[in-house]
Structures are given as C-alpha cells and as structure tokens.
C-alpha cells in the first residue's frame, strides 16, 4: 500500500492520545504492528520543545509519524499548526483536521479544501479528515490531496460505519485513490467491515486507548484488518433477499 509514494508495512494506523501511560501506548503500537502512528502537536511544543520524552519514545518505536491538526477550527489555525508540526517532526506529512461543528466534531469541508490547497502548495502531503461527501472529495483531490480520510462516525463515538451507502459510493467513485476510514470505529468488526468495503486502511485511537487491555485490543484490530482485506480480495458472495439451498436437491433420492 502506497501513500504519497511511501510503502507502509500495515494497513492499520494508530492514534497516540488518551492512553493510560506511555508504556501502554508503546505496547499497543507493537501489538498492532501499526503502519503509521498519528500525533497531535501542542502549540507551545515548537518553541519550548515540550514533551520531548514522548516524541523520543514515539521515534524509538520506528513507526512512521503522521502529525495532525487536531483541535483546529479555522484555516489559519490549521495551516499554522501544520507548519509547526513540520518543524518539530521533520516530515511533510500532515493529517489535516478543520472542525466545523463542536458536538459531532464534523469537519468543515469548505475550510478543509482551502487549507488543503494552501498546504499542498507549501509542499505538504495532506491527509484530509473529511465527511463521506463526493463533491468535497473531488475538491480535495483537485486541491492536491492524494489520500482521503472519510469518517466512519463522529470521533470517539465507537458507532462504527454510520453511512454505508456513502462510504460505498466514495469507494466506487474513486477506485484508484487511497481511502482510509478515520474516526468512529469502536470494534474490530467495524474495522473488518471497512476493509471488506474495499478501503485501504483504517485509523483507530479511542477504541484501543480506552479498552481495558489496549495491547490486546490493538492485536485484535490487527487481525480484523488483515481478515477484512483478505475477504475483500477473495471476492465475497453478494447478499440475496431469498434463501438459496447450500445442498442441491436435484439428483437426490426420493423416498415414497
């Protein structure tokens, strides 16, 4: 799987927030065999180099880092945070979040497209957190994005894939664009379902971090992602409205 020309070792991406301790986070990342970890940037980090022990631990895990602009509600904030993240983490990858609604943390698609255009022109490789909006997806691609990250459900809700029609439509309309389901996944079965729909990866945070045993849950998600991917490649049967006998009746003996 290639993201902006970089091959990842796994289709499971893992967030690093809300874990009980750095040690538990490290155990979860290892159990997940994550291909990418996402990290948030506090605004003071660039100037004061705060939290360096945490960043050092993340680097020691040897997993590619995807900084994000979590908590940003305007284009200006998102662009500024992205530039700070590039300085701190020495990467031009950025998960772009521009939140438009506080209760659901729904992305502001208008601001997202504008911020994506600015950052792409500044040399960033943008991973936009978006809704399953086909028109918005097209605009983001036109703005220079090569990966799209539609939500499954509101961040941290654990509701799974709320809009299967929308996610299927997005996959069908953009068959060659890497798509990652980001946000709302609560169970390994949700992750498997996303992979069965043909998505290229999933990003998980709260479902692992808030589990009673984060490392065990991370391992479960790893297996679910692998199973979902294999199932997709195996060309699964289509759903039917009526029963179809699994044992043929023709040729069977009939007892009078």
169-193 confidence digits (pLDDT tens): 999 999 999 999 999 999 999 999 9
pLDDT at 254: 62
Q: Is 35 annotated as a binding residue?
A: no
Q: Is 16 annotated as a binding residue?
A: no
Helix 109-121 vs helix 75-89: angle between axes, to the nearest 10 degrees? 40
In the chain, domain spans? 8-234
pLDDT band at 166 (very low <50, low <70, confident <90, very high): very high
Active site residue 125: no
pLDDT at 42: 60
**Mean pLDDT score across all residues of the chain:** 91
Q: Is 206 annotated as a binding residue?
A: yes
- What percent of the chain shows pLDDT beyond 70? 92
74-90: average pLDDT: 94
- What percent of the chain shows pLDDT beyond 90? 79
1 or 110, which is more confident: 110
Terminal CA-to-CA distance of the chain, rounded, Å?
A: 60
From the list 76, 95, 125, 159, the catalytic residue is 95
Fold of 8-234: TIM Barrel (3.20.20)
Each residue's pLDDT tens digit, 88-137: 888 999 999 999 998 899 999 999 999 999 999 999 999 999 999 999 99
Nearest Cα residue to 120 out of 13, 203, 4: 4
pLDDT at 43: 39
Scan for tokens 């589990």, then name that residue. Answer: 211
57-84: average pLDDT: 93
Q: How far is CA 101 from CA 66, 108, 205, 235, in A?
A: 24, 7, 20, 38
pLDDT higher than threshold 50 for residue 46: no
Q: Is 156 annotated as a binding residue?
A: yes
76-90: average pLDDT: 94
Whole-prediction pTM value? 0.89
pLDDT at 255: 62
pLDDT band at 58 (very low <50, low <70, confident <90, very high): confident
């Amino acid at each position: 799987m290639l993201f902006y020309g970089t091959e990842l070792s796994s289709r499971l991406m893992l967030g690093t927030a809300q874990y009980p301790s750095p040690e538990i986070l490290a155990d979860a990342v290892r159990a997940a065999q994550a291909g990418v970890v996402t990290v948030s940037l506090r605004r003071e980090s660039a100037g004061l180099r705060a939290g360096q022990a945490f960043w050092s631990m993340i680097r020691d895990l040897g997993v590619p880092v995807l900084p994000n602009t979590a908590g940003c509600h305007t284009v200006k904030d998102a662009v500024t945070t992205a530039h700070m993240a590039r300085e701190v983490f020495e990467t031009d990858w950025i998960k772009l979040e521009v939140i438009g609604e506080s209760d659901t943390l729904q992305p502001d698609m208008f601001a997202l497209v504008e911020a994506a255009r600015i950052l792409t022109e500044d040399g960033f490789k943008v991973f936009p957190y978006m809704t399953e909006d086909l028109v918005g997806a097209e605009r983001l691609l036109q703005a220079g994005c090569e990966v799209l990250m539609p939500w499954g459900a509101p961040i941290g809700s654990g509701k799974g894939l709320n809009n299967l029609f929308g996610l299927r439509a997005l996959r069908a309309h953009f068959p060659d664009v890497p798509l990652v389901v980001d946000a709302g996944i609560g169970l390994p079965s949700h992750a498997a379902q996303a992979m069965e729909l043909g998505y290229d990866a999933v990003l998980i945070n709260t479902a692992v971090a808030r589990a009673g045993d984060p490392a065990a849950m991370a391992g479960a998600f790893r297996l679910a992602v692998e199973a979902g991917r294999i199932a997709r490649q195996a060309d699964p049967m289509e759903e039917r409205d009526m029963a179809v006998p699994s044992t043929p009746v023709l040729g069977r003996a009939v007892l009078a």
